[in-house]
Structure 1
């Protein structure tokens, strides 16, 4: 059940990335990001009220809040890098480095001990994600773009590791606490660009829905991390960059490069290895 939950989380995040990217072409990314976090808070709050929690400890809420700070940080720097037209630099660095940092934290700090098949899957995932995201094929990036990718990857690692440390007895309240922290983190930026918050009602609703999808992805990841090794849950959930490529091919008739084809095949192999491991 754990691998299935983590993979479903990856599907949610893949759809969110795809639809969020399309929305960001029609409105400022700061407004899409902020309304997305509000939508995530709404869904996470309702879900936390509906799912029983045996004991919600302050430590669980703090881990959840730290996870939300990671989410907000990752979203901010990823979107800033993408706004500079540095997708081929920022996306591979944020995805691959985020996975590597999360796995290292799980193994070195939390005592995770993946089996041989799982280690092979982890090893395959890193180059697969790099290739899926383009593998730097778009040319050399500037130092600032690389920095955006590294900062985003740190946020991804904090998001996954901190949420995985929340106790299972807390139900879904750590996810709700994280959404509150993310909204508060992004609020100063949103208020500095108030004109960006005046979106048409349809775009606002779509942004809220995208954020709710991201919160659902985190809920599924939390449930997955409670049922298996954190390192394995992180890697499976982090396969989400493959889905926007597939959706772009199917819905937008985009062309997939040989690099991306190799990456998709590698991601499929990694999924099998991690599930069996």
Structure 2
């Protein structure tokens, strides 16, 4: 069940990455990011009320809040990079580096001990993600956004994984509150960037999708090793490629084909490991 939940999280994030990237080129990325966190807060709050929590400790909420600070940072720099048209740089750098940092934290700090097959799957995942995203080097500006986003991704995943199962989904709610508060000064400093109603609704839905991805990840990490859940959840860059093929009739490159096959192999290895 854990691997399926982590893969469902990857699917959510892939769809969010695809739609959010397009939206960030049509509207100010700060407004898209902020409204997205509000949409995520709304969905997470409803889900937390529906799914009971047996015992919520302050430490669980603090871990959730730290995860939210990572989420807000990751989405801010990811959307900034996407708004600059550096998707081929930002996505692979943020995904691959975020996975690597999260796995290292899981092994060194949380005493995760993946099996041999899981380690092989982790090793396959890193180059596969890079190839799926295009496998191209880019401008330092885009790479910098990707590195900053990847640090946020690692904090998001590791901190949320430290929240206790008894806390239910309230750590995700605490994270959305922290993300909103983190981004609020930037929005106020830049002045209100009101979006047309259709774009604002899309931004709220994108944020709700990201929150759903986090909820699925949290449920997954309570059922398996954090290192494995992170890697499976981070296969999301494959989704925009598939959506581009299906919806935009784009042509996949040879590198991306190899990357997609590698991602599929990594999924099997991680599930068996």
TM-score by structure 1 length? 0.96
Corresponding residue of 2:77: 77
Q: Which runs of 5+ in 1 are unaligned?
A: none
1:259 equivalent among 239, 255, 258: 255
Q: Does 1:174 align with 2:179?
A: no
Corresponding residue of 1:61: 61
Corresponding residue of 2:180: 183
Q: 1:217 to 1:173 in 2, by over 3 A?
A: same
Q: How far apart are the structure 2 equivalents of 1:222 and 1:25? A: 30
Q: How far apart are the structure 1 equivalents of 2:156 and 2:126? A: 18
When the two chains are superposed, the root-mean-square deviation of aligned CA atoms in Å is 1.1
Could you tell me how far 1:28 is from its partner in structure 2?
A: 1.5
Could you tell me how far 1:26 is from its partner in structure 2?
A: 2.1
- What is the aligned residue count? 273
Q: How far apart are the structure 2 equivalents of 1:199 and 1:70? A: 25
Could you tell me how far 1:86 is from its partner in structure 2?
A: 2.3
Paired residues for 1:236-251 under 5 Å: 236-251=232-247
Corresponding residue of 1:49: 49
Q: How far apart are the structure 1 equivalents of 2:3 and 2:239? A: 17
TM-score by structure 2 length? 0.97
Could you tell me how far 1:257 is from its partner in structure 2?
A: 1.1
Q: Does 1:13 align with 2:9?
A: no
Could you tell me how far 1:148 is from its partner in structure 2?
A: 1.8
Could you tell me how far 1:98 is from its partner in structure 2?
A: 0.3
Corresponding residue of 2:96: 96
Paired residues for 1:89-238 under 5 Å: 89-136=89-136, 139-142=137-140, 144-196=141-193, 198-238=194-234
Q: How far apart are the structure 1 equivalents of 2:154 and 2:13? A: 15
Could you tell me how far 1:81 is from its partner in structure 2?
A: 2.2
Q: 1:187 to 1:231 in 2, by over 3 A?
A: same
CA deviation vs aligned residue, 1:138-189 (integer Å, no higher than 9, x gap): x5422x3322211111100000000000000100000000000011111111
Q: Which runs of 5+ in 2 are unaligned?
A: none
Q: How far apart are the structure 2 equivalents of 1:272 and 1:67? A: 28
